[in-house]
Amino acid sequence: MDNKLPTKQLLEPFDMHGLTLANRVSMAPLTRARSGMHRIPNALMAEYYAQRASAGLIITEAASISPQANGWHQSPGIYTDEMVKGWKHVVDAIHARGSRIFLQLWHTGRASHSDFHAGQLPVAPSAIAIVGDGIRTPIGKKPFEIPRALETDEIPGIVEDYGKAAERAKAAGFDGVEIHSANGYLLDQFLQSKTNHRTDAYGGSVENRSRFLGEVVDAVTGVFPANRVAVRLSPNGVFNDMGSPDFREQFTHVARQLDPYGLAFLHVLDGLSFGFHKLGEPMTLRELRASFHGPLMGNVGYTQETAEAAIVSGDADLIAFGRPFISNPDLVDRFANNWPLAEPADMSVWYSFDKQGYADFPSYVTEEANHG
């Protein structure tokens, strides 16, 4: 008897502008803090990602584009030759297993602390601090600081950093890159009226607030073809104290702005289980389809069944799964065979800085063999 769930399209191959993905399941970027003090990807990270290579596409954890971009303890970077060499081992491990991998490009902006920057304040569009319970720095948890507002003439240098990071990602062999413009990090801070109070060409109107992202996309698509570049947005999110009253107008504009590029995909955190600002009805993938006509990736809180429904309905082309991949390295195999998912991992071990809670979760087959 066939015990598989009626999942068809989710597990079918997907042609992403000529790049064939084995299925429509993506591994979402998950910050895991295993890169050590020097932020260089290592063998443990290669093992972790290789365990999850049944995903049609893996989007790596965010990688800082420069020292100024850092804001998470022991997260990886992509701004030195040593980092490129480390990432190449990860890429090779994924390609050997037949999957594809994009590197996520990251600047944390105000979601950082002077402890990461030798006493210098983190930067942001405007001098507005995050309201929250603090940030974990290399020397312990600290209150959020009021960031330094970037000068207008500093912005081209950061755009250039994105371009250089893309060049290094290409040198490491990545299939493409995703520009992180979500979750209250620097590009998202420029987009949103809550955090962007500038009066220069990068603030004020929705067009001006979108200018920085557009310049970054231009720089990165000067390195990779546009169909190997993705952008991540979180129009409904509250992470890092985000959420703006004009979010619908802003993110509709951004979707329209990005549409002509022919991007690999637009990655939208449309689910609400990671927090919702409640400043209006949540934006949906179906709504964004009217403004962005390329591949759409949904994310946050999807199950196998709701992912399949989103694809069958045409709302999404790809679905990213994050936390389920932590304790289910063989998530796609579990979907395909109707095997139960492992219990969610305890968050206390997510950031242990070693193999525990990271690369020590068994596959279903191994788990059953051990029980047998």
DSSP string, 237-271: --TTT---TTHHHHHHHHHHHHGGG--SEEEE---
* Domains of the chain by residue range: 9-371
Catalytic residue among 49, 79, 162, 185: 185
pLDDT bin (cut points 50, 70, 90) of residue 8 is: confident
Q: Is 8 or 268 the better-scoring residue by pLDDT?
A: 268
Percent of the chain whose predicted confidence (pLDDT) is above 70: 97
In angstroms, rounded to a whole number, what is the distance separating the alpha carbons of residues 160 and 329? Answer: 36
Average pLDDT over residues 351-368: 86
pLDDT of 118 reads 97
107, 118, 133, 139, 142 from 145: Cα distances, Å: 17, 14, 11, 15, 9
At position 100, the amino acid (one-letter code) is R
Which pLDDT belongs to residue 372? 58
Reported in sequence order, the residue ranges of the chain that DSSP labels E, i.e. its strands, are 14-16, 19-21, 25-27, 57-64, 100-106, 123-124, 135-137, 140-142, 148-149, 176-180, 229-233, 265-268, 296-299, 318-321
The 10s digit of each residue's pLDDT in 209-262 is: 999 999 999 999 999 999 999 999 999 999 999 999 999 999 999 999 999 999
Q: What's the fold here for domain 9-371?
A: TIM Barrel (3.20.20)
d(CA 188, CA 216): 12
Q: With a cut of 70, say whether residue 326 has pLDDT above it.
A: yes
Confidence tier at 138 by pLDDT (50, 70, 90): very high
- Average pLDDT of every residue of the chain: 95
pLDDT for residue 1 is more than 60: no
pLDDT in tens, 276-325: 999 999 999 999 999 999 999 999 999 999 999 999 999 999 999 999 99
Lowest model confidence (mean pLDDT) among 1-5, 50-54, 58-62, 304-308: 1-5
Residue 131: per-residue pLDDT? 98
Mark out the alpha helices in 129-261 (DSSP H runs).
155-171, 186-191, 206-209, 211-221, 247-258
pTM (two decimals):
0.96
Look at residue 6 in the predicted model and tell me its pLDDT: 55
Q: List pLDDT tens digits, range 196-205.
A: 999 999 999 9
User: What's the pLDDT tens digit per position in 126-135?
Assistant: 999 999 999 9
pLDDT at res. 177: 99
**pLDDT at residue 141 above 60?**
yes
| pLDDT at residue 3 greater than cutoff 80 | no
Q: Flag whether pLDDT at 5 surpasses 80.
A: no
| Confidence check: pLDDT of 7 > 70 | no
The confidence score (pLDDT) of residue 371 equals 62
Yes or no: say if 212 and 139 are a contact pair by the CB < 8 Å rule: no
**What pLDDT does residue 4 have?**
47
Q: Cα–Cα distances in Å, from 312 out to 68, 143, 254, 267, 308?
A: 42, 45, 26, 18, 6
Q: How far apart are CA 236 and CA 178, in angstroms?
A: 19
Annotated active-site residue 185? The verdict is yes
**Can you give the pLDDT at residue 137?**
96
**Predicted local confidence at residue 2, as pLDDT:** 42
